[in-house]
Chains A and B, each alone.
Chain A
Amino acid sequence: MRWSIRGRLLWSVIGAMAVLQIALATLVYEVMERAFRSDFDAVLAATARTLSAAVEQDGQELRADIDERDLPEFRRATQPDYFEVWRDDGQVLARSSSLKGGDLERVEGAVGAVTYRRVRLPDGRPGRAAVLQFVPKSDDEGQHRARRTATVGVARDRAPLDAQMAVLTWLLASGTGGTIAISFLVGMIIVRRGLAPLNRLAAEISSIDQADLSARVPSRMLPAELVPVVERLNDLLRRLEDAFARERSFTSDAAHELRTPLAGLRATIDVALARPRATTEYREALSDCLTIVQHTQTLTDHLLALARMEGDQAGAQRESLLVADLVDAAWRPLAPTVARRQLKLSAQIAPTITCTADRSLLLTILTELASNAAEYTEDGGRIDLAAVAVAGAVEVVIANTGCRLPPEAAERVFERFWRGDESRSQTGIHAGLGLTLVQRAVAAIGGSVAVSICDGTFAVRLRLPDRPSSRAPEVP
């Protein structure tokens, strides 16, 4: 079973309280017991000393002159007290009538000291005895005769002491038990009250709908300890909501974007199949379908590349690359298009300029920008490529003529699925993801990209990092 804060708090508080209470009760018991016993013993000792005063040494003999009439406690018919006086040779000098000729136990001790013991009284009751060894007083003061010692033992029923102790025990036990029970109840209430904000928080959190991440946990009315937790949670919810929203909009944009070529395919096929047609018409329909499929493929490739880039930006490797080589590699596949459309391509890139980037990412960027330029430049138009090294970076510019976008469109070209005016009507379809892809890829290699449109020239300015590294640039 899982442990709970409430249980742990409650049981540790109650446990500590109980131990403390029991320790306190034990201490009180010990102190009180000692006090009661010493009172009891004081009476026994006083009786013993009184009796010892009645013993005298007369010459070599010891005499006990004890009149029981003055000592009624030894004459009681029931539950009497007992005394016995011995000589130093063990002979009994005197004994109380209650002993009925029997003996008390004689114990040797230091002279003048009283020894207390638990005893069993002759009638079987539990009792307590005080034994005093003493030097009896003598008449012949000054005659330094050998002094004898005597022993007096007094015993009495310890029932009053036991009764007192029983009352004390009962009082302490019931007091301690009651206190523990009450502290349990009070502790429960305190813990419950104290943990109420946690319960409220749990209820708030569990009421958050899984489908609706816009909910936030209110942090007012919560104790200070919980506020950071709630703030973190709200922060997490906010980020989760943003991520979900981004994901949703991307998926929905992508799905809608795929719908258009699908609709084109369906419409083209529908029309082709609507009635018997000449072979040339079928051929034309099939070629239309092929174009649509090719564009769809580009679109899905871009979507996939974007998704991969968002998932794994850390995977980018940095190496020193020759810019001229990569630009060349990006433009090589477009040579037939450049020739067919008579585009004037000029490159001003020093062969030694390097940048630090992930090779495949940079190639993606340059290929994308190259195909964009080749696509949108008017027939016979110009494309200028340039690269210059600036402090710690390389600036690559790709500019093409034939742009019909207004200058203010420059800000929007990086938006997902945004399309420039003529781009789509000219080519039939252009996914509008190319520049978004470029922007992400540039960010992944730690560079920046900007677009400017001026007098029909569309210019992309790439700033790529060029950090000195241990690896030498690859020379082809």
Chain B
Amino acid sequence: MRVLVVEDYLPIQKAVAKSLREAGCAVDTSADGEEALWFASNNEYDVVVLDLMLPGLDGLSVLRRLRAGGGSSHVLLLTARDSVQDRVRGLDAGADDYLVKPFAMEELLARVRALARRAYCAKNPTIAVADLHIDTSRQEVSRGGQGLSLTAREYALLEYLAMRAGQVVSRADIWEHLYEFRADADSNVVDVYIGYLRRKLERAGQPSLIQTIRGVGYSLRGPS
């Protein structure tokens, strides 16, 4: 899941980004409205966490311009202003959710997850593919009732494939959604992580759930 955090107050930006990264998200950060707009129009973010009080171009203007430019990312507004008018203004400008500072990091993560599910039209936080179960709220994965231990990266990759289970997902898509703007790894890393993930999901006597579609990408699906 790829998230853009727009917050001019560095301690919050740093903490939110760190938290999201630890939850397996690819996070880009910006402290400036104009820069945030550039990020949002050049990358496909699942969720944008947007502070309202930004220097220069303020959060609401960023949001309006993002929506006017056709940006469909889910936007979670973050602000110290909590009056009803403020919330209404934010939601009416095209935000999907609203969180008032100070907030519990847990809540921010849950809201980001909920918005990400919405991005894939999935309301159920638990995804099942054949005997593979993914609890996106707890980030727990099990196959055939047996828990699997994945790294944050591996989990993020699996969750992304699972959100689009049955579809063919291109390498570019995976790259776009799982890696940060400044990531210096090459696209080969996707294949490497697919390899790790396959090995962890392997179960004796069962077919692999991740299929390689030659020349296109990968697909997570049960045995047909």
Contact = CB atoms under 8 A, between A and B. Distances in A.
Nearest to B107: A270
A425 B102 contact: no
B22 A419 contact: no
A422 B55 contact: yes
Q: Is the interface of B mostly helix, strand, loop or mixed?
A: loop
B14 interface: yes
A119 to B, nearest CB: 103
A263 B19 contact: no
A126 interface: no
Contacts of A420: 55
B18 interface: yes
**Size bracket, chain B contacts:** 20 to 34
B102 A262 contact: yes
Contacts of A266: 102-105
Contacts of B16: 267
Interface string A263-278: 1111110110011000
B132 to A, nearest CB: 25
Given A259-B101, A274-B105, A425 B11 contact: no
B9 interface: yes
B56 A421 contact: yes
A397 B56 CA distance: 27
A65 B104 CA distance: 139
A426 to B, nearest CB: 9
B102 A267 contact: yes
Nearest to B51: A260
B32 A264 contact: no
A291 B15 CA distance: 14
A142 B39 CA distance: 157
Contacts of B213: none
A258 B14 CA distance: 18
A423 interface: yes
Interface string B47-79: 000000101100000000000000000000000
Indicate the member of A256, A259, A270, A422 with the most B CB atoms within 10 Å: A270
A180 to B, nearest CB: 66
Given A266-B103, A270-B19, A425 B80 contact: no
A270 B55 contact: no
Interface string A414-442: 00000111111100110000000000000
A268 B101 CA distance: 13
Contacts of B18: 271
B206 to A, nearest CB: 32
Interface string B8-31: 111110111011001000000001
Given A270-B104, A270-B105, A274-B22, A263 B55 contact: no
Nearest to B78: A263
B11 A424 contact: no
Given A420-B55, A422-B55, A423-B55, A267 B105 contact: yes
A288 B11 CA distance: 7
Nearest to A285: B15
A425 B103 contact: no
A264 B11 contact: yes
Contact of A271 (B8, B102, B105): B105
Given A256-B80, A288-B14, A419-B55, A429 B9 contact: yes
A421 B55 contact: yes
B106 A270 contact: yes
B89 interface: no
Contacts of B80: 256-257, 259-260, 263
B213 to A, nearest CB: 36
Contacts of B12: 260, 263-264, 267
15 contacts: A256-B80, A259-B80, A260-B12, A262-B102, A263-B101, A263-B103, A264-B12, A267-B105, A271-B18, A271-B19, A271-B105, A275-B22, A288-B14, A419-B55, A424-B9
Interface of B: 8-12, 14-16, 18-19, 22, 31-32, 53, 55-56, 80-81, 101-106
Closest A-B pairs by Cβ, 5 of them: A264-B11, A263-B101, A267-B15, A263-B102, A270-B105
